[in-house]
Amino acid sequence: MNRIDQIDSMELFIIKLPLVEAFETSLGAETYKEALLLKLKSEEIAGWGECVASPEPFYSSETNETALHIIRTFLLPVIMKIKNFSLDEVLRAFERIRGHNMAKATVENALLDLQAKMQGIPLYELIGGEKRDIMSGISIGIKEDTDELLESIGQAVRKKYHRIKIKIKKGKELEPLARVRENYPDIKLMVDANADYSIDDLELLKQLDDYDLMMIEQPLAYDDIYFHSIIQKELQTPICLDESIESLNDVKTAINLGSCQIINIKQGRVGGILSAITIQNFCSSNGIKVWSGGMLETGIGRAFNIHLQTLPGFTLPGDTSETSRYFQEDIVEPNITLRGDGFIDIPEGEGMGVQIIPERLEHFTTFSERIETK
């Protein structure tokens, strides 16, 4: 990757995008997406990054406020101190800061977008991917009314989504799954528990084997790897780890213990695109399937996830859905749409391939800050 002479300006934004409908998981319900964005500009070229944290520390200990603090106070000063730098040099300097993967990923991705644009190439080419059709996947939140869940699945089937994920929580899994399989016996279906169960629920979790699921995502505690290894030995259905995986070392531990057969790689959770690539390479070499998870990202984060899936290790459909599924209006164009066959095209153009619409950014912005680089 080429070197960057210097960053001329840095800007941080927090935006709030209303969701089309409330999105409920075992962690709670969301009615809007709050996103922290970073813009890095060198001469007339701007690179953008999106933080995948939330306002509350429910999915992760990181929040938009903590990420804002870490980016402003520790990460951006590293860039300001180095002239004519490479991304490798920046990432090595970031290693002194423990944790805060979501904050680090925001900066790394903005630099990757900037570099790709400076070279006049799409992001997937910069990271070693190949242009291909991207499989679609939809995540459907918990519905109090199972008929409403069935209607949402029906819409996804008509759209030809390649995989359907439904959120579950304790006491809200067996009846909905029975109804879903009764009505849609052949769809590729998975469930996501967002850590709502414990080892004491093993007998309940074993009943999920009856529903021909692709996987059960993160059934146990968000920071657990060991107890997942116990239940994976008892289940026929593959376990997929999500929240438990924050680094390559976590992956190695999970594989050695036999804690899962599949890993959800959320590039923002593991520290950025480059860390995600390292993890998918290791998984591919060890027979572990991976897919790209989503965090209700705006079009910026959604574009990064699409480019990531051009790498060969991503053989399962990810959380990659149409923009209109979640937002009536995004801050970028073009919107992500499904083709008639359910596949998604990679956004065309340099860098991440989507363009920020200034008027929309301004309309949805609740906080902005410009950081002086000199």
Can you say whether residue 271 is alpha, beta or left, with left for phi > 0 and alpha for psi between -120 and 50 degrees? left
What's the Rg (C-alpha) of the chain?
A: 20
- Cβ burial of 233 (10 Å; 0-12, 13-18, 19+) is exposed
Selected catalytic residue, list 39, 167, 172, 289: 167
Residues 6+ apart with CB under 8 A from 255: 283, 286, 288
Beta bridge partners of 54: 63
Active site residue 233: no
Q: Which residue has the tokens 């998981």?
A: 25
In the set 39, 143, 266, 289, the catalytic residue is 266
DSSP per residue, 278-313: HHHHHHHHTT-EEEE---S--HHHHHHHHHHTTSTT
Q: Which of 366, 281, 321, 374 is nearest to 32 (CA)?
A: 366
DSSP string covering 313-337, please?
Answer: TB-S--S---GGGTBSS-SEESPP-
Q: How far is residue 43's CA from residue 9's CA, in Å, rounded to a whole number? A: 9
Whether residue 167 lies in the annotated active site? yes
* Cis peptide bond N-terminal to 334, omega within 30: yes
Q: What are the structure tokens assigned to 108, written together?
A: 């790394």
Q: Count other Cβ atoms within 10 Å, centred on residue 81.
A: 9
Q: In this structure, what DSSP letter does residue 200 have?
A: G
> Contact at 8 Å (CB) between 298 and 50?
yes
Q: Which residues belong to the active site?
A: 167, 266
